[in-house]
Structure 1
Amino acid sequence: MALSITGAQVMDEWGTFVTSGAVGVADGVFTDSVPPGAPVLDAHGKWLIPGVYDCHTHITWNDFHRADRERRSRAERDQQTADALLSTLRAGVTSLRDGGGAGRDLTSALAAGVLPGPRVQIAVDLIGPERAGSVADLTDAVRRSLDRGAQWIKLIATGGAATSGGDVLASNFTREQMRAAVRVAGDARLMVHTWGGESIDWAIDSGAGSIEHGMYLTAGQARRAAEAGLTFVPTLTIYRHLRDLIESGALTGVPLARITDAIAAHDRAVLHARDAGLPLALGSDFGSPEHHGTNLVEIGALLRAGLSGPQALLAATRNGARLLRDEAGGVIAPGKRADAVILDADPTDPATYDDPSHVVAVIQEGHLVP
């Protein structure tokens, strides 16, 4: 499909905007000239950004607690997944990394065109403390994930929102276990769920690919992670959603004080990463029907945490592409895959992302998403 996008303010590779006469699209990529006779998409007064990468979501989840998910029928779960994929794509997310739950059957269906949705990379399993008995136990779990198609290995290195007890930063794995997991994973890099503490140090030392959540990331850890080539994937919005659910009484079993403290720490961690030059990538950690399709709200959260407009937009686009080793995407430039989002409000204003209707068009591989 050929297309001419005219009049938009176009995001460049540095996250700033330039007014363009026209952006050409042909055969699924951006071109350096407008194809003759191409249909025109008028974007005057609007902004064109690359397709967004959500680097931490759970596209097959639709309930907070696992037991609630498992009570649903397979047909119901499949329909909810299909709905989540389409709403996430329509929200502007053209590529995502699933942090546990999605399997090879989903990526196969997407590749075959059976399901419309973003491009998906998968971790398959959440490998947690039940596999922390020894190096052999952990590496066996890693191999099982790889056998099931994992492109990322997801380690649950600390507790989380619903963890019992007070020591949520205690590491579930030793330094030696993390190093072994990285070695066995090979090309499938580690994404490490950690709220903070020594598990961040060990993720850095071991050569993990990304730190997930990382509320209590310190300035020193951010500097070391930057030097080691990691990416930080904070997930700011989901914890505000959890706080609201707890305060309303809709979610029990999660200490409110833990969440409110984590929210404040999370913003500080983003600033530590920014100041250290540690790349940030966007992650929603969404896993419910009311949140799938609102993913771009996380850009607003990054802006409110203190990132500049270009920094937040690069976290949502170019940095995500680099983390997922997607050399074809992440920027609007000739020869790059034509994934893009058109917004009718200023992308550097966090309020823009409070209303998903400001996404007025999504383009995936050169095709307008219906």
Structure 2
Amino acid sequence: MAHLRSWINLRIASFDPAWPQPYGALPGMALEVRDGRIERLLPMAEWSATPGVEVIDGEGRWLTPGLIDCHTHLVWGGDRAADFERRLQGATYAEVAAAGGGIRSTVAATRAASEQGLFDAAEPRLRALLAEGVTCVEIKSGYGLDAEHELKQLRVARRLGRELPVRVRSTLLAAHAVPVEFAGNADGYIDLVCSTILPAAAEAGLADAVDLFCENVGFSLAQSRRVFERARELGLPLKGHVEQLSHQGGARLVAEFAGLSADHVEYLDAADIAALAAAGTVAVLLPGAFLFLNETRKPPVAALRAAGVPLAVSTDLNPGTSPFASLRLMGNLACCLFGLTPEEALAGMTREAARALGLDDCGMIRAGLRADFALWDIEHPAQLVYEPLTPRLWRRVLGGEVV
């Protein structure tokens, strides 16, 4: 039997481009949900109760799509608080690494942790996001750096999606850094990624996409191309950490492979922007890392906007450069640091974040899409990023069910 539910007396911020008014706003609305999907939106003046159908009165509250965090490294072992202290005392990245910190310390802690230990550490981070109205989250690997432990991270990500009320997309980020056993032999490690780790993740069905770190402290353009070519052979969508600290040409490589997203993108040039626009690739802005690392080179938001490149916003939640389990805070920082409008920031946490994950069934309030949405005790959608640390969530709905 079909399951029906009506939500009434709503102000809907649909973020649907079919409605040209700011936020795609639709006041005085009702929303009908059938079997986990939005069946129709209609003005309250046209709505009438159907016998036997549950009705939930929104009492004039705002309803938005569920928030989507499209770039996280949420599963990791250990912490990097000591690194944070050392950096504030003036230590360089190299000095932090020499003292036993840096990404290698996270890799060691992640490898040493059990799957249960990683799950237990990740769960409160994820619950913090859910409390902000997040209904979908991407979780990357990248702290295992061998087949056994990369797959371990991905299994934990999948389990989080099974055991918590959230939709999880998992991304293989094996080409994140060179592990200690391949020190001085990055090409050898890329051989392992392409020959062993990528096929193992694909065969196990653990990866929804493949990511990499193309950077002067990461992997070269040629090494990145090898990873993308192998991922494409395996039928996996692509994305990249690119142009964060320098210009390496990674964004154009992502565009060449029709990648879902190019992430960070502080050092984009005009040709990169044109390539992203032509490919329909989303630019994912990560203001948490920008803030935490005290960077000064901002993403070229005005040029991206003018070129029509979709702009997503995400937490980049990770232990080393963005330990912030708050997507609404990232929306605020995207406005204050990068110059987005509140509407752009919220679209970047819903509609454009869905695009960055290759999802076409969520991110807007539109008939036919999944009934993943949030209801808020606010007077205007801009409040969600204006005062990001004030709890405003009234109800979070996943697949039509209040969770």
TM range (shorter): 0.7 to 0.9
Q: Does 1:297 align with 2:353?
A: no
Q: Quote the sequence identity (%).
A: 21
Matched, 1:133 2:209: no
* Equivalent in the alignment of 1:338: 371
1:124 is aligned to 2:172: yes
Alignment correspondent of 2:210: 153
Residues in 1 aligned to 2:130 and 2:388: alpha-carbon distance in whole angstroms: 17
Among 356, 366, 370, the alignment partner of 2:400 is 366
Q: Distance in 2 between matches of 1:77 and 1:105?
A: 7
Q: Which consecutive residues of structure 2, in runs of 5 or more, have no partner in the other structure?
A: 18-22, 81-102, 143-152, 179-184
Q: Determine whether 1:28 maps to 2:36.
A: yes
Report SS of the residue matched to 1:285: coil
Residue in 2 aligned with 1:180?
Answer: 229
- Rounded to whole Å, the distance in 2 between the matches of 1:224 and 1:361 is 40
User: Structure 2 counterpart of 1:314, which letter?
Assistant: A
2:63, 2:374 within 8 Å by CA — same for their partners in 1? yes
Q: 1:337 to 1:129 in 2, by over 3 A?
A: closer
Tell whether 2:389 aligns with 1:355: yes
Structure 2 Cα separation of the partners of residues 97 and 325 of structure 1: 11
Residue 171, structure 1, aligned to residue 209, structure 2: no
Task: Give, as a single letter, the amino acid of the residue that structure 2 aligns with 1:150.
Answer: A
Where 1:8 maps in the other structure, the secondary structure is: strand
2:141 is the counterpart of 1:100: yes
Partner of 1:48: 63
5+ residue gaps, structure 1, are 244-258
Q: Does the CA contact (< 8 Å) of 1:128 and 1:172 recur in 2?
A: no
Q: Which residue of 1 aligns with 2:72?
A: 57
Q: Distance in 2 between matches of 1:6 and 1:232?
A: 35
Partner of 1:19: 27
Could you tell me which amino acid in structure 1 is paired with residue 393 of structure 2? V
Deviation track 1:87-140 (CA, whole Å, cap 9, x = no partner) reads 3222211112112254135425634xxx11321111234314538417755522
For the 8 Å contact 1:300–1:349, the answer to whether it is kept is no
* CA deviation map 1:174-201 (0-9, x unaligned): 5752552453342x11221122332223
Match of 1:260 among 295, 299, 303: 295
Query: Aligned partners of 1:122 and 1:274: how far apart in 2?
Result: 28
CA contact (8 A) 2:75 2:157 kept: no
C-alpha contact (below 8 Å) 1:56/1:98 kept by paired residues: yes
- Deviation, 1:30, is 1.9
Q: Bigger shift: 99-108 or 129-138?
A: 129-138
Distance 1:109 1:220, change over 3 A: closer
Q: How far is 1:293 from its partner?
A: 4.5
**Aligned-partner Cα distance in 2 for 1:273–1:90:** 31
Check 1:355–1:51 CA distance in 2 against 1; reply closer, same or farther (3 A cut): same
**Quick one: which amino acid aligns to residue 203 of structure 2?**
D
1:143 and 2:199 equivalent? yes
**Greater shift in the superposed pair: 119-128 or 173-182:** 173-182
Please give the alpha-carbon distance, in whole angstroms, between the structure 1 residues aligned to 2:350 and 2:283.
14
Q: In the aligned structure 1, how far is the partner of 2:345 from the partner of 2:160?
A: 32
Cα offsets for 1:131-160 (capped at 9, x unmatched):
84177555224324323422211211115x
- In structure 2, C-alpha distance between the alignment counterparts of 1:87 and 1:228, rounded to whole Å: 34
TM-score (norm 2): 0.73
Picking from 269, 277, 289, the partner of 1:218 is 269
* Matched AA of 2:207: A
Q: How many residues align?
A: 335
Contact 1:92 1:296 in 2 (8 A): no
Greater relative contact order, per chain length (Cα 8 Å cut-off, separation 6+): 1
